A = this chain, B = another copy of it.
């Protein structure tokens, strides 16, 4: 029909990420201690859900791997719910290959060794139990490893409370990802769990501070940067010839 022809002609501009696959992680992970207790963190998932939404609206095919949140899934996004870091890694691996990975989730750095099937009892007079922690898989570093399955663009988040820019710059190099979005999650900023964010985008070539804005606006800004980065690559169908990490 004429309408289809018009929509088809409009698509390249309106859906610039059409044909690209994106993986977005969001939310906290919960790491069980026993059947009723767990370790958690204050991530609401809002920033990750907003990014998944912005990438889908830009035309990408989006898989959102989400830890426990109370948010509705963005329209047109395939949602995979997980609880723990180990489950999140498995869900991310199942979503490969993809072109773009944005790791927004606040993955617990540690889980509890030998998390039990029975509730730990409080014994009157006995000392509290000791929680022995073991490292969780590092999903961002894992996705950033060179190889045929590496997404062409890997973006990480860094939730910092001190020396935000320095810590995040070091994190970018240590993890091997292309971009890091750093934010200051000190309680007094109200960012973790709130509606707004104030971020610094760190690439191989520099740092760019964005003023405080809504998490939706951060997501739209990031989607625009991703569109520009992929537009700068002549042929998105030949990943073997793409550079190691899309330049900023």
Contacts and interface: CB of A to CB of B under 8 A. Distances in A.
Interface of A: 30, 33-43, 70, 106, 108-110, 117-122, 124, 128-135, 159-162, 167, 174, 185-187, 192
What is the copy number of this chain in the assembly? Answer: 2
A181 B108 CA distance: 34
Nearest to A118: B161
Nearest to A160: B119
A33 B37 CA distance: 14
A1 B33 CA distance: 60
B36 A38 contact: no
Contacts of A120: 109
A192 to B, nearest CB: 6
B128 A133 contact: yes
Contacts of A134: 128
Contact of A122 (B109, B160, B162): B109
A174 B36 CA distance: 22
B39 A106 contact: no
Contacts of A121: 167
Contacts of A41: 36-38
A204 B192 CA distance: 47
A38 B30 contact: no
A34 to B, nearest CB: 8
Contact of A133 (B42, B109, B131, B192): B131
Given A119-B159, A128-B134, A135-B128, A186 B35 contact: yes
A238 B37 CA distance: 42
A30 B39 CA distance: 10
Contact of A161 (B119, B124, B160): B119
